[in-house]
Amino acid sequence: MNEAQLVGILASIMAQSAPLILAVIGETITERAGVINLSLDGTMLIGAMAGFVVAYKVSGSLEAVGIAGDTIPVLVGFAVAALIGALAALLIAWGSIRLKQDQVAIGFVLTLLLADLANFLGQNYTRIPGPRVTHLPIPYLSDIPFIGPLLFRHDLFIYLTIITVGIVWWWLFQTQPGLQMRGVGERPEAAFVRGVKVNRTRYLYAALGGALVGIAGAGYSLDIKLGWSDNHILGIGWIALAIVIFGGWRPVRGALGAILYGITKAVAQILQSTFPEVPVVLFNSLQWLLMLGVLLLVGSEGIKRLIDISPRWLQGPLAHALRVAPPKSLGRAFIEE
């Protein structure tokens, strides 16, 4: 395999991982604000279905009036998916904040319900071709050796995903509103005392995170795994949830985790084609074994022991860089006076 092929594979991994990266970022935001959105899998499914179906229909109507092209339908599709994602997350947040119910329970029921809704409503639109995100290589930049094809020969969705990672990182750690949001997730009483509107913040970021998740779902049906079919991307939401934990609730680490996952899948595919006699079982199970492995690494004493054996002066910063503790108020409602 020569260099061009390697770069090509890496670029394709980047592209394929983009929706997952977006979903991980979205859920990271939601959980940082203190809300667990367990409906991730269902939301992504219905986001994928709705994004595709809406784009398909809009494309049909526009063609009827003589406007061709995929851009507008795709945009509308993404917008609708974002809306649905936001609503799902808001429902969980509302159920928790206003009705004091268990976020995990609501999220779980919602994930099943949304999956069923997606299959039900999408059944007439399975396996048909539809609009897709247009390929958009950036002139000049895409000709730079190595980095060019890797980063600049994709489409708008992927560019925006990369930009989103950067924006979210900046927002979270370099701005006042992001700082306040983190405070809400860590210790809502202290944030409240400083005048931060705790519940409003939770609603806002839950909705934002949910919107990103919805867009991520649509990113599959409109870009990576085109079209719709029954249970199209089932299971990817759970992987996203695990990666959020693996990423320590940080956007950049989470994005890296998603890419790592993409690399694993690609490696599995390569191995599968190189050794066709080995039963498919092995490669399919790889992603789930990886999920367990990653969570074991994070959950067990491994990281703590690593910190314990490091020199004293390093322990503090190391603990915070490798931080694996969730935001302290995750999952709990806050009673405002």
Partner 1 sequence: MRVELRDIRKYFGDVRANDGISLTFEPGRIYGLLGENGAGKSTLMKILSGYQAPTSGTILLDGQPVVFSSPSDALHCGIGMLYQDPLDFPPMQVIENHLLAHDDRLVLDRGGGSRELEQYASGFGFELDPRVYVDTMTLGERQQMELLRLLALGANVLILDEPTTGISAEQKEMLFNTIRRLAHEEQKTIIFVSHKLEEVQELCDEVAVLRHGKLVGTQSIPCPTSTLVRMMFGEELPRSTHKLHAAAPTVLTVENVTIRTYRLTVEGINLELHEGEALGLAGLEGSGQRLLLQACAGLQPIHSGRILLCGEPLIGKRSPLFWTPWLAWAFLAIRTIWLIVRLLNGQIGGLQMAGGMAWALLIAGAIWLVSTVLIAWTSQSAYHVFRQRGGAYVPAGRLEEGLIADLSLTEHMALVSPESSFVINWQRARDEISRRIQRYNVVGRAETKAAELSGGNQQRAMLALLPPSLRLLLLEHPTRGLDVTSTNHIWELFEERLQQGTAIMFISADLDELLERSDRIAVFSGGRLLRILNAAETSVEELGHLIGGQQL
Partner 2 sequence: MKDNLLHNLWRVVPVLMAVGVTTALLIVVGASPGVTYSALWQGSFGDYDRTFSTLAFWVPLLLCAVGLLVTFTTGLWNIGVEGQMIMGAIGASAVALEVAAAYPDIPGWVIVPLEIVVAMIAGTMWAALAAILKTRGGVHEIFGGVALNNLAIIATNYLISGPWQPPEGGSFRGTVPFPRHALLPLLGNTRFSPLSLVLALIALLLVVLALRGTSWGLKLKALGKNMRSAFLLGVSSERGAITAMMLCGALAGLAGAVRVLSWFDSLRQSISGGIGFLAILIVLLAGMRPLGVLVISLIFSGLLTGGAVVQLRTQLHSAISGIIQGTLVLFVLLFGDPHRVFRRPQPTVEAEAET
CB of 324 to partner 2, least distance (A): 9
105 binds partner 2 (CB under 8 A): yes
Cβ pair 154, 136 in contact under 8 A: yes
Q: Which does 231 bind (CB under 5 to 8 A by kind): partner 2, partner 1, none?
A: none
Q: Site residues for partner 2, window 272-331 (CB under 8 A)?
A: 279-281, 284-285, 288-289, 291-292, 295-296, 298-301
CA angle 31, 35, 36 (to 5 degrees): 75
* One of 69, 177, 293, 302 touching partner 1 (CB under 8 A): 177
Using the CB atoms, write b or e for 37-49: b if 16+ within 10 Å: bbbbbbbbbbbbb
CB of 84 to partner 2, least distance (A): 14
- Packing angle, helices 236-246 and 40-64, rounded to 10: 120
* One of 61, 69, 71, 116 touching partner 2 (CB under 8 A): 116
CB of 94 to partner 2, least distance (A): 8
Cβ pair 39, 118 in contact under 8 A: no
Residue 135's DSSP bridge partners are 155
Angstrom distance (rounded) from CA 32 to CA 36? 9
Per-residue mark of binding to partner 1, 296-335 (x: CB under 8 A)? --------x--xx------xx--xx--x-x--x-------
Other C-beta atoms within 10 Å of 153: how many?
Answer: 20
Residue 302 token pair: 């491994």
Residue type, 120: F
Give the residue from 26, 45, 44 showing the smallest Cα distance to 36.
Answer: 26
CB of 262 to partner 2, least distance (A): 18
174 binds partner 1 (CB under 8 A): yes
CB of 334 to partner 1, least distance (A): 13
Angstrom distance (rounded) from CA 72 to CA 151? 24
Q: Which does 222 bind (CB under 5 to 8 A by kind): partner 2, partner 1, none?
A: none
274 binds partner 1 (CB under 8 A): no
Q: Which residue ranges make up the site for partner 2 (CB under 8 A)?
A: 38, 95, 98-102, 104-106, 108-110, 112-113, 115-117, 119-121, 123, 235, 238, 241-242, 279-281, 284-285, 288-289, 291-292, 295-296, 298-301, 335, 337
